[in-house]
Every structure is written in structure tokens, then in C-alpha cells.
Structure 1
Amino acid sequence: MAGLAAMLSACGGGGGTPTGQVVATVDGQEITANELRMELGGAKAPNPGAQKELERRALQSIVNRKLLAKAAADQKLDQAPEFAMQKAKADELVAISALERKLAAAVPQPSKQEAERYVSDHPDSFAQRKLFVVDQVVAPGVPQAVLREMQPLKTLDQVENLLTQRGVPHQRAVGAIDGATSDPEMVKKISALPAGEVFVVPNQGGVLINQVREARTDPFTGDRAVAVAQQMLRQRKTAEMVRSQMQQIAAQGASTVKYNADYGPPAGAPGTAGAPKGGAAPAATK
């Protein structure tokens, strides 16, 4: 019995103070070091003291989440029909995320020769690397109709006046666009714009309306340029291959889907080619 008690203590169990790989317990439920690492998501602080504080905050976030989840369960909120549907959706999204990571991990690293060719083909990003300082209007969300109204405008003041008139939230800022880390086609287009031309760049669901304040050339060459090119190529290849394989998986599974006649699939959905209108038949035919 003494040996068993010692083993429980080493694992952080036994109801005492957590030790080893158990960083805390909440009403007897263990929180492990692996769980804490996942919560941190790879975040790093500049020094050990700051890192420990980061870990404490992340751990407290886990603790609070578990306490609140327990309170919801104690009130039997997890027994409501909508809870089961939301949990199923969350489980599906986690599974999809795991699938995306697996597919992404299988994408090969571009060769040095590919990267060197990429550097050569995109001089505005490397040999003649462009750096732009831009005045910006940052708008989290702009309706399509307002974007169309924006097209003939020539200055940021005009853009701001339009957004104010249409009640679209926005703010002014100063930003920078680095040719080495931006989409090469976008950099090429910006370089070709007439002086003072206003241009729009998508930004996390919103838009940045920009006007170049200053532009200069700062060559980016050598091994560092090739390494950056390899990283950019891998990111692009990964996005393309993951999207393609996810679409292929959806298309392959479409033959198992049957729709209510009132809820047919949208045009262009996987497996809908040749399906009768109304969606009464399966999404794909054999």
C-alpha cells in the first residue's frame, strides 16, 4: 500500500497538492502540463519570469473555464437539446482542424532551386524589394454598396467623409507594406499605381484603404531571401493543397448525402453536377 500511495503522489493524485505533470486540480479534476502547453499555443515571453507569469495566466484561464462549465452542468444546462447540437458542431470543427493539420504536415518543403526561381521571378519583393509607408483608413467591415461608391474617390479624406455619411465605423492609421512578406502580385500593382492613388486591401474580414506616403527600394538578397521565399512558397502550397484535398474529400462523400426536397444544395456544391432541381435526389449520382 505504501508503494501505491507513493505512486499516486508522484502522479499528482491522491487529493493532495498537485505535483509533477499535474499543474492544478478543479474539484478533483486534473489539469496537466500538456493541457497547459496546449492553452499557451506556443506563446513565449522574453524572459523566464515573464514566461512563468504567462503560464499562470493561461492556467487560471483553464481553471475559470472548468469552474464555469461545472456551474453550467450543475444547472443541467448541458442537457438542453441546443447544447448537444452546439457540442456536436464544436467536436466536428476540432476534428476538421486536426485533419487540416495532418494534411498540411504532409506538404513537402519547396526546394532551394524553387525558392531561388521565386526570388528571381519577383524582383519587387527581393532584388528591388519595395517598402511602402502608407496612410490608412481602417474599417472592420464595409458593405459592398459602399465599396462600389468608393471606387471613383481619389483621397483618404473623401473616403472618410463617405464612411462617416454611411455610418461605417473606421479610424485613421499609418502602416507599412513590405514587399518581402506581402503578396508579390499586390506589391507589383501598388508599384504601378499613379502617385497618390488610393487602393483597398482586404484585412481580416474588413478593409484597409491606403495611400502611399513614402516608397523606397531596399534590396533583399542572399540566403535570407531564399529562406523567406521557401517559407512563402510552402505557405502557398499548403493552403492550395489543403483546400484541394478538403474539396476532394467533400466531393467523394457527396454521394452519401440525400436532401429534403425543400432544402436542396446550393449551386456549385460538391457532387451537384447533373442533380435534379429541388434537391430531392442525392447530392451526387452514381
Structure 2
Amino acid sequence: MVNTVSVKKSTLLAVTAGALFLSGCEKTAEGQVAAIVNGEEVTLQEINAALGEANIPEGADKDVLKQSALQQIVDRRLLAQAAKESGIDQDPAYLIRQRQLSEALLVRMYADKAGTTIKVPDQAAIDRYTEANPFTFANRTIYAVDQLIFPAPADLAELKQLEVAKTLEDVGGILTKMGIKFARKSAQMDSVQVPPAMMAQIVALDPGEPFVIPTGATVTASVIKGQQKVPYDAEKAGPIAVKAIRNEEMAKIMKQRLTEAKAKAEITYQTGFAPPAEKSEAADTPDVIKKAVEAPTG
């Protein structure tokens, strides 16, 4: 009796496996399926998503573009399959990167969904915003700057020694005394890319007076050598202001949601990794939110 049951189970398993195999072989490229690559479907939705991210010139042949987009997807799929066969999908470095990309996409789409609840600003709101942000609009300026770039000290309080510097040469001399190596270069600084409060402080400096800005692992000391005002175009300013207002509102929503998530979360840190207790998170917008609202998915 045991042998009979065993034979029946084996037969059932064989039949089931065969049915699955036949089902896989019966896949056809039709309807919403544009192609099948080693049993994996490429859908019309994938093609449309790829086209949605491309800058399509006016009057372009859409059928040709679809075929081109499909071939790019097929090529990517084939190489991804080859990578999996080589075992890369089990590599710890790949798994970490995969999680980072997945989380970043989730946050971006979460922010984009939050943006659907934001009302389109009216003209009065747009006018108020452009007036409140002159360095982005009417007074937008491109500055030519000379810079000294050096690694940030472990204690940023050490940068207070640079407060007595009146020229970039003074900064270089102080850094040399501190034993900090630096590199010198010329660059451009767009007032749009500088926080308004910081930009106001910079333009209030005496001519040739340096300003120091820590940026993560590096610090940049700069002096303005020249400037060129960008012509103001009221028609172009409107859409830019609308996007900026939308991004600010989205950031507020996401910060509130992050605060709520932290309040409910259970987070434990290894000794030495916990954030400083005195650090206030109310003023600054976390980088993860900035990235999400500046490049939302559509």
C-alpha cells in the first residue's frame, strides 16, 4: 500500500511539473506582452515607462521609438539574466545596493503620492514666492569664485580659527599652520543653488572677504571674483515657482510623516552609532526627503 501511494504521488508530481513546463512553453508575445526573453515577459507598460522617461522629439515615429525601447529592455534583461547565472544576485554588495535603490524608489513614489494632495498655487501665491526668493528669480546671479577645498576636521569647531581671515590667502595661511592640506581652484556659483539665508550673508560680505561652507566630508572657502546677473523672465519664472512651492509642501508632508514614523518605531543603536541627543531635527530637511521631492516619479 505504501508503494502504491508513493507511486501515485510521484506520478502526480511528474504530471504537475510537466504541466508547469508546458505552461511556460505556451507563453506567447501578444496582447500586453511585447516580447518574451527566456521565459520572462516584457510588457507594453515597461516600454511606455521607458518612453515616458525619454526626451522624445516632436514628430518622432512612435513605432520606431517603441521598437528601440523594447530592444534596450531586451538587452538589459539578457545581461541581467547572465548576471544572475554568474551568481551576482547573491553577492552581499549587490543585495545592499538593491535594497538602497528599492528604498529610494519607494520614498520617491511615496512623496509623489503626497504631491497629489497639494493644490496648484494661484498667481498671488506665485508672486509672493518669487518676491520672497529674489536670488532664485529677479536677482539670480552667477558668481565667479576662487576656492580652497580641504577635508573637514573631526571637530568643526576648529573652523572658527578661519573667522579672522580677510582674504583667501589668509585662509590658506591658517590652514597651513593647522597642518591641513588644501587644493585651489576656480569655479562658478549659481545663487539658485545656495540657500537664501546663506546667500544673503554672502552678498553682505566686504569685497574679497572669504566665506566658508562645510559640505559633508569637505570644506570650501571661497571669494567672489566676478558676477553676472541672469536676465529675469517672468513667464519662465511661473512654472519654476510652482514646482518649488510644490516641492516645499511635499517636503513638509514627508517630514511630518517621518516624525510620525519615528514616534512609532523601535530603533536600537550599537554603542557609538546613536545620533547626538541634543541634535534638533526640526529645522533641517533630511537628505532622503530632499532627493525624493526634487526628483519625484511621474
Superposition TM-score tier, normalisation by shorter sequence: 0.5 to 0.7
Aligned to 2:151: 142
The runs of 5 or more residues in structure 1 that have no matched partner are: 1-12, 270-286
Of 163, 178, 187 in structure 2, the residue corresponding to residue 174 of structure 1 is 187
Partner of 2:16: none
Relative to structure 2, which stretch is displaced further, 206-215 or 259-268?
A: 259-268
Residue 55 of structure 2 is aligned to residue 44 of structure 1: yes
Using the alignment, how far apart are the partners of 2:272 and 2:197 within structure 1?
40
Q: Distance in 2 between matches of 1:46 and 1:218?
A: 28
Task: Indicate conservation of the 8 Å contact 1:22/1:33, yes or no.
Answer: yes
Query: Identity percentage over the alignment?
Result: 23
Report the equivalent of 1:8: none
Q: Which shifted more, 234-243 or 154-163? A: 154-163
CA distance, structure 2, for counterparts of residue 161 and residue 46 of structure 1: 54
1:103 is matched with 114
Match of residue 225 from structure 2: 213
Question: CA shift at 1:192, angstroms?
Answer: 0.8
Letter of the 1:116 partner, please give it: D
CA distance in 2, matches of 1:265, 1:43: 42
1:142 deviates by 3.0
- Which of 177, 201, 204 is the matching residue for 1:189? 201
- Partner-residue secondary structure (3-state), 1:195: coil
- Aligned Cα RMSD in Å? 4.9
Amino acid at match of 2:225: R
CA drift of 1:195 comes to 0.6
Is the alpha carbon distance of 1:235 and 1:174 closer, same or farther for their aligned partners in structure 2, counting shifts above 3 Å?
same
1:199 has 2:211 as partner: yes
**Equivalent position amino acid for 2:153 in 1:** Q
Q: Compared with structure 1, are the counterparts of its residues 204 and 173 closer, same or farther at alpha carbon in structure 2 (3 Å cutoff)?
A: farther
CA displacement 1:115-162 (0-9 Å, x = unmatched): 2223334445545x14232224485x8323597265555227955995
Structure 2 Cα separation of the partners of residues 262 and 34 of structure 1: 47
SS of 2:125's partner is helix
Secondary structure of 2:142's counterpart equals: strand
1:58-69 → structure 2 map (5 Å cutoff): 60=72, 62-63=73-74, 65-69=76-80
Aligned to 1:7: none
Cα distance change on mapping 1:259 and 1:189 into 2, 3 Å: closer
Q: Is residue 131 of structure 1 aligned with residue 141 of structure 2?
A: yes
SS in 2 for 1:172: strand
Question: Residue type matched to 1:184 in 2?
Answer: P
Q: Is the 8 A contact 1:40 1:58 kept in 2?
A: no
Task: Give 1 or 2 for the bigger CA radius of gyration.
Answer: 2
TM-score by length of 1: 0.59
Of 168, 178, 182, the residue aligned with 1:155 is 168
Which residue pairs with 1:30 in the alignment? 41
- Matched pairs, number: 246
Distance 1:202 1:172 in 2: 16
The 3 A distance-change label for structure 1 pair 259 and 231 is: closer
Rounded Cα–Cα distance in structure 2 between residues aligned with 1:78 and 1:36: 24
What's the offset of the Cα at 1:55? 8.5
Once residues 52 and 162 of structure 2 are traced to their aligned partners in structure 1, the CA distance between those partners, rounded to angstroms, is 40
> Is 1:74 equivalent to 2:85 in the alignment?
yes
The answer as to whether partners of 1:22 and 1:32 remain within 8 angstroms in 2 is: yes
Specify whether residues 89 and 199 from structure 1 end up closer, same or farther in structure 2 by C-alpha distance, changes over 3 A only. closer
TM superposition shift of 1:242: 1.4
Any idea what SS the aligned residue of 1:239 has?
helix
Match of 1:234 among 246, 266, 270: 246
